[in-house]
Amino acid sequence: MLGSYGGQFASFDWTFSPRGEDGRPQPMFDRSTGAVDRTVAAYWRAHYDLAASLDRLTPADRQALVGRIHLWVGGSDTFYLDSAGRRFDGAAKSAGIDATVTIIPGRSHADLYTVGTNELGLFDTIAAQMLAASRQSAGRR
């Protein structure tokens, strides 16, 4: 992450972008001008946009996801993921998938998990819900 090609946005390029001829990821946008590379953006959408992927699911796949998607995002997310969360919520509803999307007002990317004085309170809640769901699917309580 250090050097001429580092930082948070570059980490997204390294994770999601197709590789250029030099083997490095193609940036989705020019860091100086903000111009978006539409080819790279289309690649991201086709491969990693969860809201867009819901349209491509078969009816059986949609049914298998009912009640299994839970998303939490801060209403003031540092990386504007609250907008993506709202978009996903709308796409899930349009696809007939009963996803639970919780947008926590005033929370950012950094303090999302804080509940009261417990900095990992939401993590504890999510872990308890996952344990309960796994026990239920295994026929245990």
| DSSP string for residues in 98-123 | --EEEEETT--SSSTT-BTTBTTHHH
User: How remote is the C-alpha of 33 from its chain's centroid?
Assistant: 26
Cβ atoms of 113 and 122 closer than 8 Å: yes
In a domain, 2, yes or no: yes
Cβ atoms of 16 and 44 closer than 8 Å: yes
Residue 45 CA to residue 11 CA, distance in Å, equals 17
Q: Which residue has the higher pLDDT, 133 or 131?
A: 131
In a domain, 29, yes or no: yes
Computed over every residue of the chain, the mean pLDDT equals 90
**pLDDT number for residue 127:** 94
Residue ranges making up the domain that contains 40 = 1-48
Overall number of domains in the chain:
1
In a domain, 80, yes or no: no
Encode pLDDT of 52-74 as tens digits: 999 889 999 988 888 889 999 99
**pLDDT number for residue 7:** 79
pTM: 0.78
Radius of gyration for the alpha carbons in the chain, expressed in angstroms and rounded: 18
Provide φ and ψ at 6, rounded to 5°.
-120, -170
In a domain, 82, yes or no: no
In a domain, 81, yes or no: no
Report the length, in residues, of the chain: 141
